[in-house]
Amino acid sequence: MSEKIALVTGASRGFGAATAEELGARGWHVIAIARTTGGLEDLDDRIKARGGSATLVPLDITDEQGLQHMGLSIYERWGKVDLLVHCAIHASPLSPVAHVPEGDLDKDLAINIRATQRIITMIEPLLKAADDGLAVLPVDSNTAGRKFFAAYGASKAAQQAIWASWAAETANTGPRVTTFAPKPMPTALRGRFFPGEDRKALTPPRDEACRMIDSLLQGLLRCTD
């Protein structure tokens, strides 16, 4: 059986890191993308400690040339991507609509919308080259339209609309394109939005990563201790 290749964006922390670690522990080779080199190196240590392997890609996903180089490198080395989990996201500080700084709005749009479309452009041919390529977008449904969430909520809703269009377009041709809604987790992102909530009541990212792996990969990669 050929090596299974998983590409995980936003892999240096939170749900992305948990997903990358669990896939690596289940025998997939993980291509881990994030801007934070230190976080990627820590992830690599954890994956290796559990017998897995990873390729680290310190990359800002708004870097068009960097994405192109990454896509070419993946093609030359593996010729395919079996699984894409697009966890990279940017969340500007909460702000009333009339007071959202221009720079914050532009960054949300650049990372959450434009970079998502460019990643699809680069990775779709590699997913099609796999036997059963699958692309997954973690989603949330409780931000669009909420007060103070204008920049993030609008950009996240637009990102999900792009993903839904891609899913409709590829329904008969592949790759498989779907979403996964994790339960609220004690991530740094959520901490910025809800700083006063009881984080002990939230679900650990590893638990949700395992739930996604088990549900979307037909239980072939069971998470164990």
224 occurs within a structural domain: no
Mean of per-residue pLDDT scores for the chain: 93
pLDDT of residue 218: 65
Give the up-direction half-sphere exposure of residue 6: CA atoms within 13 A in the CB hemisphere: 29
222 occurs within a structural domain: no
Note the pLDDT tens digit of each residue in 45-76: 999 999 999 999 999 999 999 999 999 999 99
Confidence of residue 140 (pLDDT cuts 50, 70, 90): confident
223 occurs within a structural domain: no
Provide the domain limits for residue 161: 5-216
pLDDT of residue 141: 67
CATH code for the domain in which residue 132 is found: 3.40.50.720
Say how many domains are in the chain.
Answer: 1
Note the pLDDT tens digit of each residue in 178-208: 999 999 999 988 888 888 889 989 999 999 9
Percent of the chain clearing pLDDT 70 (strictly above): 96
Looking at per-residue pLDDT, the higher value among 204 and 220 belongs to 204
